[in-house]
Structure 1
């Protein structure tokens, strides 16, 4: 059975989803989980694009073992040198360079001839190969490229030293039958000289189908993202292609090295970090993926699960929530449970989280894994604090106008303000705005319960916009108004950081 390499680009292409940008610490946290998932390659960023991407790539190389670490680079000398600088200390490294090949891109965007594009592609692959042994090349917009020219480019870059050639459906244009023929033609041309990879976008909802068609025709690597996030309509969904291969190995005669029991945890982490929720009917990781309401289906499941389930919830790490901790739990048990959940934290981070855990345990009778994950996620995602919440009190009722009294710290000074509003959240946000004198616009406000019960930890996500800058903030607390205040203040801190840089 063939092994298909999983090239995860959540940290690079996935981050290009509107509003999904991640800070360096969030990228480290997610990269650590991707390593636990056992992806083969992590494309950690675009080294030349920003200091943040460069730092993230470098730190992932220093701190995380397992997957090959990759940086994207345009077919430009300065890009490839910058990628090498970010990657050079990583144990396993790859430079992924690209150049458009479709006539529409060459004419209107790059304004170069086919001959010049081919020459530049070969030269930059040779340059990348002088730095690393593992080089990947992508002919951007391959599915709208003249096939004969595409074959010539692919063959030339392989001869120049590319060990992987990635065929991108950059605008989600192709169909499974057509894409399969393209991959088959490339396989016939280069045979076993290089691994054929595919990178499919989901503009027509065909990214997973196209990727699977490519595998059937000789592709050995799939580029994908967790939850299918990415530019425009997103990318090929990692969990869908992995579970399709696992469930239908009889048809594809291919599999992956993915630890599928980490899929749900990875999906939830991506959703928390990016603020992009998973739709309930999403295949594999949606809330309804293993829910059965039809009486006929329920009857069949009770008699034999395989009547209506082609995979089990346990296959992807979905288990009934179990009680793990309480207010009498000690620091050692807390640290051990965090480690079991996949969080590798230093002692200072553990001590800080333990204090928050104790406060939460005083408010909740039962502490679940999801509560612990929320605590870690909130702490990791937090922006440097210019603003912080000191105190908050609310009065509200059927015959009483909602009123919020907010006390905040700005720098080293304490400020307080009382405001009325249409509801307690509105009053709280008006008070925060009055104290901070900010002029941002609230674009999104979402509330969800992390666990069940009336004492459940609630999570609030907000998006703020100011002067064209869009940021998100997350807050978690058993008091949903406090969670809302935390989320808003975190977003303000992110805005302040963006203004400063």
Structure 2
């Protein structure tokens, strides 16, 4: 990804696949009502398109698609379908012909031979037939989604893309299905594909996390001319997952000028959607996850806290309030006495060094399990030791609890 600034910012579309790719991964199953609840929360984040499911895969996905298609008002509904007429017909019945129908093409010789057992010519024929059938049913928003495109050769991909577009596909979605590419490789592929299609055809990208590069690849794709990124909340999805929506949103918020793109994402709504997702599928929150992690906006290290107590910008580039989060200043054995004293001063509680040492030794240094004290808990301890009935609160930008 280059760092050149773009003169004209272009609009980047954001496509959410939490309810389809995310939901189909082990442990992430949702019923139609749960999908609807989450879809509405995701819509509030400002994404352009929400993939409701794979209608032909199960009655549950069919029903979820119907519910979501009837409920969404600002986001487009999408479905995923095989390149067969029966799938397309079911998608029309579930979501109506106004939704975005994605037709999945087989994009590599590996998949043609070992998964499908068909020839290139047969794969091309089913693309032409299925896209044509979707158009005959009345669909106008048709996506040719190319599975395993990242392992497909140009002489395989170009004919199928050109055939799909000729039949009426208005979006081409390239999938790095196995997460096998590095950013320079993926960016180069996006550049080549962009040169094969007209500017009025949307180029979408779908990246997986198998090498931990889904976001990096997505950014390389944006820089190479992709118009849309497919992502999921918390990056859930097959195997290691997909491009995390919240991480993409953070980059778009802080690096929009460098990328030369804009989006309509409302970052302050993301955490609410994540909490719903976590509740529905029982998703544990890692300590070290960007944006959504327990420690994303929390610190106990004294060297960091000393700066943050003066001005949070010293160690805080991503701002918690922009993502519906709160800052956590936690007191632990790595905090040090000076930070505790500074914290107490911020709270309007001055104590003698002897009492400070006693508090540190009794309540902090003795915690062999490494647990921390929140500011509110520390204030309670101090007021009890000093016999104070009340104490002034810390400044509003620091008086926070742990995430």
Q: Is the shorter-chain TM-score for this pair beyond 0.5, marking a shared fold?
A: yes
What TM-score does the superposition give when structure 2 sets the normalisation length?
0.77
Within a 5 Å distance, the mapping from 1:97-496 to structure 2 comes to: 97-130=103-136, 131-319=138-326
Displacement of 1:5 after TM fit?
1.0
What corresponds to 2:102 in structure 1? 96
Aligned to 2:94, what secondary structure does the other structure show? helix
Displacement of 1:207 after TM fit?
0.7
Separation in 1 of the partners of 2:120 and 2:76? Answer: 32
Between the two structures, name the one with larger relative contact order (CA 8 Å, sep ≥ 6). 2
What TM-score does the superposition give when structure 1 sets the normalisation length?
0.62
Displacement of 1:18 after TM fit?
0.9
Aligned to 2:270, what secondary structure does the other structure show? helix
Q: Does 1:76 align with 2:81?
A: no
Displacement of 1:300 after TM fit?
2.2
Q: Deviations over 1:371-424 (max 9, x none)?
A: xxxxxxxxxxxxxxxxxxxxxxxxxxxxxxxxxxxxxxxxxxxxxxxxxxxxxx
Separation in 1 of the partners of 2:141 and 2:197? Answer: 17
Displacement of 1:249 after TM fit?
1.4
Q: Deviations over 1:258-306 (max 9, x none)?
A: 1111011111111111112121100111111111233222222233322
Tell me if the contact between 1:142 and 1:150 (Cα under 8 Å) persists in the aligned partners.
Answer: yes
Separation in 2 of the partners of 1:197 and 1:290? Answer: 32
What corresponds to 2:394 in structure 1? none
Separation in 2 of the partners of 1:155 and 1:4? Answer: 23
Q: Does 1:57 align with 2:65?
A: yes
Unpaired stretches in structure 2, ≥5 consecutive residues: 1-8, 329-375, 378-403
Tell me if the contact between 2:131 and 2:167 (Cα under 8 Å) persists in the aligned partners.
Answer: yes
Separation in 2 of the partners of 1:288 and 1:276? Answer: 16
Aligned residue pairs: how many? 321
Separation in 2 of the partners of 1:296 and 1:252? Answer: 33
CA RMSD across the alignment: 1.7
Displacement of 1:250 after TM fit?
2.4
What corresponds to 2:46 in structure 1? 38
What corresponds to 2:401 in structure 1? none
Could you say which structure has the higher strand fraction?
A: 1
Q: Does 1:12 align with 2:20?
A: yes
